[in-house]
Amino acid sequence: MVVRLDNIRKAFASGFLMKRKAVLRGVSLGIHAGDAYALLGANGAGKSTTLRILLGLTRADAGEGRLFGRPLDDRVVHARLGYLPENPSFHEQLTAREFLSYCGKLVGLRSAALSRRVDELLERVRLEDARNIRLRKMSKGMLQRLGLAQVLLADPELLVLDEPMSGLDPPGRKLVRDLIVEQRDAGKTVLFSTHILSDAEVVCTRAGILRGGLVVRELSLEELGRLQSESVEVEVSGLPDALVRQLQTRARSVIHAAGSVLFTVAPGREVRDLLQSTLAAGGNVESIVPRRVSLEEVYLDTTRREVEAHDTRPLAPVGSGGAR
């Protein structure tokens, strides 16, 4: 297992009285080699804190973690990973090529091999025409792509990306998605946090939903695959009322509109039978639309259930020192 976190807890002091507020209340997850794991959650859910603890940049209050089977504070494993923070900071006086060359030397690249690798990555992130531009003149999207190039310099086994698609335009987001897929298909492991669920759905093999300081649900590759087609909406017209009543007994829902009927049925046989019955009765098929359950819907449903469960928990009794 490449990444293992068990019951990670973390609280931070804040406010005038410096009261400690729990951010992580027992995060546990495991990531295998070749996974593209999306850590999902709203802003402030603790995604960045989880990644920083994993990387040894923040110390957990409790719990254990391992990278490549070794403790999180073992610096040997750090040479096997690449990290892109949510808001990367750069030496603004350098050019893109100078920055990557500097980072390449830090990871052991030299001379011709370093030059080739820098040029290759600048082209891959579409910054070849900006190689000599000072970083202070680059847009946020350009800097984000440069950060991705820096992550890939040493060809790491594990990529840890904190909100890699944040602030990017659609072409930039597609570039990041393509890079993640490339790394995944090459057998690398990718752990990335995001609140852009549509992007995660395209590239991840597994996903974990972080809420209230806990991973409240995980979705495997098989479960993600089952999101594809849960039902099909079939709109038909020209059917006699008796046939509509007969067909709606097998439908999940029926909506009567002006001159047509919209059936929602299970994919496969139910769709075929509905079409055959419609055509045999001389009716018309107006449209067929697969109804796809998205990762976003799963996320919203999971968080809704968590909120409802929290709201229905009994209140703790108020003691003599309680509020009046």
pLDDT in tens, 227-286: 555 778 899 999 999 999 999 888 888 888 778 999 988 888 889 999 999 999 999 999
Burial of 195 (0-12, 13-18, 19+ CB in 10 A): middle
CA distance 54 to 71: 10
Closest CA to 117 of 87, 82, 150: 150
CA distance 31 to 168: 27
* Residue 292: per-residue pLDDT: 59
State the fold for domain 3-225: Rossmann fold (3.40.50)
Q: What is the mean pLDDT of the chain?
A: 86
CA distance 322 to 324: 6
The ranges assigned to domains in the chain are 3-225, 231-291
State the fold for domain 231-291: Alpha-Beta Plaits (3.30.70)
Q: Which of the four pLDDT bands, split at 50, 70 and 90, describes residue 85?
A: very high
CB 279 within 8 A of CB 285: yes
**Overall average pLDDT of the 163-185 stretch:** 88
**Overall average pLDDT of the 45-61 stretch:** 94
Sheet with 284-291, side-by-side order of all strands: 253-257, 260-265, 231-237, 284-291
* Residue 306: per-residue pLDDT: 62
* Residue 122: per-residue pLDDT: 97
Q: Which residue has better confidence, 313 or 87? A: 87
Please name every residue paired with 36 in a beta bridge, in sequence order, or none if there are none. Answer: 190
